[in-house]
């Protein structure tokens, strides 16, 4: 039933996925909120709301459906099928919510949380309210009571078009490198790599 679009039930009868979609939407909002609070405990309610809005929307949910290839199981009415409904963003977004609702109703919150963790936690880096340099700075201060060091490793190109390579060190150990058209940009890219290498989410 989770894969039965209302257009199918209108043409052929039976139940559709609207109720499961409603349940899945509520479960998704709850679990994403829970995970954001867990990963970003020092952020304000306003920042958390902004991040949740960037995560729980039709484009992202449609991507999740495509990653799971849920569209191939979707049952559509003939008209919706002809009109390309299988690739429509809103239909795919609703499909993901309906499938999450089915997971919750059949297997409970624990398994539903596993689904949300798998598909949304990796996206947290794209909606962080802090910049990588700030995240790395705060983490280094907390762990070692020292700020990161950025060292220029190389500089190439003509004077009017220089290209910089920078290494970032935490506690005298290199944790990332970055390149850019100026020193500042290279340090930003080095910090991005360091945040990924160290798996720092906040």
pLDDT digits (tens, 9 = 90+) for 85-102: 888 999 999 999 999 999
Q: Which CATH number fits domain 6-126: 3.10.20.30, 3.30.1340.10, 3.90.1150.10, 1.10.1520.10?
A: 1.10.1520.10
**Residues 139/171, Cβ–Cβ less than 8 Å:** no
pLDDT value of position 128: 67
Q: Of 21, 25, 43, 80, which is the active-site residue? A: 25
| Whether pLDDT at 164 is above 60 | yes
Q: Where are the beta strands (DSSP E) in the chain?
A: 149-156, 163-170, 173-180
Quickly state the pLDDT bin for 132 (edges 50, 70, 90). Answer: confident
> pLDDT (tens digit, 9 = 90+) per residue, 45-63?
988 898 899 899 999 999 9
Residue 25 catalytic?
yes
34 is catalytic: no
Question: Which is the catalytic residue, given 97, 114, 173, 174?
Answer: 97
Query: How many Cβ atoms are within 10 Å of 123's Cβ, its own excluded?
Result: 15
52 near 36, Cβ under 8 Å? yes
Rounded Cα–Cα distance for residues 80 and 2 (Å): 17
In angstroms, the CA 75 to CA 67 distance is 18
- Backbone CA torsion sign across 193, 196, 200, 201: positive
Q: Is 4 helix (H, G, I), strand (E, B) or coil?
A: strand
Of 3.40.190.10, 3.30.160.20, 1.10.1040.10, 3.30.300.30, which CATH number belongs to 132-198?
3.30.160.20
For 6-23, how does the pLDDT look when each residue is reduced to its tens digit (9 = 90+)? 988 888 889 999 999 999
pLDDT tier for residue 201 given thresholds of 50, 70 and 90? low
For the cut 60, the answer to whether the pLDDT of residue 202 exceeds it is: no
Q: pLDDT at position 89, please?
A: 93
Roughly how many angstroms between the first and final C-alpha of the chain, as a whole number? 39
């Amino acid at each position: 039933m989770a894969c039965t679009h209302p257009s199918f039930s209108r043409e052929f009868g039976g139940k559709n996925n609207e109720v499961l979609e409603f349940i899945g939407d509520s479960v998704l909002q709850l679990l994403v909120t829970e995970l954001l609070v867990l990963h970003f405990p020092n952020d304000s309610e306003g920042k958390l709301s902004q991040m949740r809005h960037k995560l729980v929307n039709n484009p992202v949910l449609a991507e999740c459906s495509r990653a799971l290839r849920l569209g191939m199981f979707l049952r559509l009415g003939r008209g919706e099928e002809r009109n390309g409904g299988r690739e429509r963003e809103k239909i795919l977004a609703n499909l993901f919510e309906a499938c999450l609702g089915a997971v919750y109703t059949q297997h409970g919150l624990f398994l539903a949380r596993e689904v949300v963790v798998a598909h949304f936690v990796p996206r947290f880096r794209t909606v962080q309210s802090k910049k990588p340099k700030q995240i790395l700075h705060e983490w280094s201060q907390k762990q070692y009571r020292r700020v990161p060091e950025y060292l220029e490793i190389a500089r190439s190109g003509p004077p009017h078009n220089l290209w910089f390579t920078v290494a970032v060190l935490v506690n005298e150990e290199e944790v990332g490198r970055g390149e850019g058209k100026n020193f500042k940009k290279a340090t930003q890219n080095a910090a991005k790599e360091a945040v990924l290498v160290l798996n720092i989410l906040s």
